[in-house]
Homo-oligomer: A and B are copies of this chain.
């Protein structure tokens, strides 16, 4: 058996998410088909993060297992030829055959891009928020997320989870040009958690949600809190699975945009 580690970038716009489904186009479905074509044998594929429909990835990681030896020479080119243009394998390399992308991961980080202006070039990669945003208030809210908290209020279908407790290692906000960026790193995430946290942070940034109300969401995962957070759910277009981190790999670098929106009028005042 051969196990490959794949580092994968994709634009999620056209897909019903990562996970394979019958009768729906998914990233894992396209990737497995391309791998089987490129390797010439059946492949078992597993990803580190199950991104939802429309969510992008800068660095999804997957394991691909195939019987026998994988023809590694020229694999990058065969994969590029077999994949649609919105999925790209950044690297494919043979690893210890027991490597499991999801189980072996120390943490995942997600990046969210809020744009403060309409953008013709990056519409697929942002959430355009017209209301003015207090970035300092959002940053204070992000600080509150760090540590061990019950994220039941931010979780779709919390009863389906064994636990809604999540240890957030990092949560940060940065204004970069016309974007407000949010990044969160944790060992695992609940379903729709990042998009609901972003929605609540934007409510905080507009002043529609007070600091105490935001704090209360972390203390109260009841039905009313869940319904509020659900109504604020940020759209998938702004969300990127940024990186999956494994033992021995360096920590996250500085927070940067995935697809910046800083040109345009700004270019004139250089």
Across the two chains, which residue of chain B brings its CB closest to A242?
Answer: B267
Q: Which B residues lie within 8 Å of A125 (CB)? A: 121
Other-chain residue from B87, B243, B256, B265 in contact with A120 (beta carbon distance below 8 A)? B87
Contact between B258 and A270, CB atoms less than 8 A apart: no
Q: For the complex, is A136 an interface residue (Cβ under 8 Å from B)?
A: no
Q: For the complex, is A98 an interface residue (Cβ under 8 Å from B)?
A: no
Q: Which B residues lie within 8 Å of A258 (CB)? A: 121, 263
Contact between B121 and A59, CB atoms less than 8 A apart: no
Q: Which B residues lie within 8 Å of A254 (CB)? A: 270
Stretch at the interface among A66-74, A157-165, A245-253: A245-253
Across the two chains, which residue of chain B brings its CB closest to A58?
Answer: B263
Q: For the complex, is A86 an interface residue (Cβ under 8 Å from B)?
A: yes
Q: Which B residues lie within 8 Å of A203 (CB)? A: none
This protein's copies in its complex: 2
Other-chain residue from B88, B250, B267 in contact with A119 (beta carbon distance below 8 A)? B88
Q: How far is the CB of A136 from chain B (nearest CB, A)?
A: 25
Stretch at the interface among A6-14, A32-40, A42-50, A215-223: A6-14
Q: How far is the CA of A118 from the CA of B10 in the complex (A)?
A: 11
Q: Which B residues lie within 8 Å of A242 (CB)? A: 267
Q: Which B residues lie within 8 Å of A9 (CB)? A: 119-121, 263-264
Q: How far is the CB of A87 from chain B (nearest CB, A)?
A: 6
Q: Which B residues lie within 8 Å of A265 (CB)? A: 7, 59, 90-91
Q: For the complex, is A85 an interface residue (Cβ under 8 Å from B)?
A: yes
Q: How large is the interface on A (under 10, 10 to 19, 20 to 34, 35 or more residues)?
A: 35 or more
Which residues A229-270 have CB closer than 8 A to chain B? 242-243, 249-250, 252-254, 256, 258-260, 263-265, 267-270
Q: How far is the CB of A92 from chain B (nearest CB, A)?
A: 12
Which residues A97-146 have CB closer than 8 A to chain B? 118-123, 125
Q: Which B residues lie within 8 Å of A11 (CB)? A: 120-121
Q: How far is the CA of A91 from the CA of B269 in the complex (A)?
A: 14
Other-chain residue from B7, B86, B243 in contact with A123 (beta carbon distance below 8 A)? B86
| Given A9-B121, A249-B268, A256-B263, 16 more pairs with CB closer than 8 A | A7-B264, A9-B119, A9-B120, A11-B121, A56-B121, A58-B121, A58-B264, A58-B267, A80-B118, A88-B264, A90-B264, A90-B265, A91-B265, A121-B125, A250-B269, A259-B259
